[in-house]
Amino acid sequence: MSDALRDRIRAGETVIGTFIKTPAVQLVEILGRAGLDFAVADQEHAPIGISDMDLLSLAARATGLPLLSRRWGASTDWIAPLLDLGLTGVMVPHVADRARTDAVCAAVKFAHGARGISSSPRAGNYGGMGLTEYRDHSDRTSVTMVQIEDASALDQLDQIAAHPDVDVLFIGPADLSQSLGVGFPSAELDAAIQRVIDAGSKAGVAVGLFVGDETQGHLDFSLNSSERTRSAA
């Protein structure tokens, strides 16, 4: 079930998901029925709006599929409305330093005191949960994936990974290669990816990587199986 994703990640399980590029509820239903571990609605690179997310969330919850959203923007204002709809969590692009990490986590977790709270949306069972129950449940189960895809982030990895609310350092290899000015693929990109893996291993934080096929899983994830969280497109 969707509530278990964060527990599974933090327990060291390998979880495999995919990106959704089309706002079709049937796709979400199929992915849920197929037993996929999670899916990410790609609001960054696909025409998926808030009304679409309402229906995609409904389909995901009906099949027990943990659904996250990825959406670009300097602000974090988009995060709370999506979690209110019942999403399991968010994947935030271009998190390159601790200040951005703090802002993202404050937008996800009620405990930081910045996220507005109401149990009236779907995530609070339309008022069926009391505020305390809803707050505690949301903070316990919401998943925070921060994307590492900037050259400047590589020197900030320890600080980013040290935030207790970060569940996954998710590598964006295409943007990372562009930021580094290297080929995709290339030995230089592999070395940068390995730096993220090593930082995750050191901090005990899972690392995720976009892979186009299984042959791209050649980097050293063997340091600790608990550091593996993969997403296949």
Domain extents in the chain: 2-232
Q: What value does the CA radius of gyration of the chain take, rounded to a whole number of Å? A: 17
Phi, psi of 225 (to 5 degrees): -60, -20
For residue 220, give both structure tokens.
């050293």
Which residue has tokens 């802002």?
103
Q: Are 193 and 173 in contact (CB under 8 A)?
A: yes
Query: CA 98 to CA 112: how far, in whole Å?
Result: 15
Predicted TM-score of the model (pTM): 0.92
Query: CA 72 to CA 216: how far, in whole Å?
Result: 25
Q: What share of the chain is helix, strand, coil (3-state, %, to 5)?
A: 50, 15, 35
pLDDT per residue as tens, the chain (233 positions): 677 999 999 999 999 999 999 999 999 999 999 999 999 999 999 999 999 999 999 999 999 999 999 998 889 999 999 999 999 999 999 999 999 999 999 999 999 999 999 999 999 999 999 999 999 999 999 999 999 999 999 999 999 999 999 999 999 999 999 999 999 999 999 999 999 999 999 999 999 998 877 666 555 443 333 334 444 33
Query: CA 113 to CA 168: how far, in whole Å?
Result: 22
Phi, psi of 168 (to 5 degrees): -145, 135
Distance of CA 93 to the CA centre of its chain: 9
Q: In the CATH hierarchy, which top-level class contains the domain 2-232?
A: alpha beta
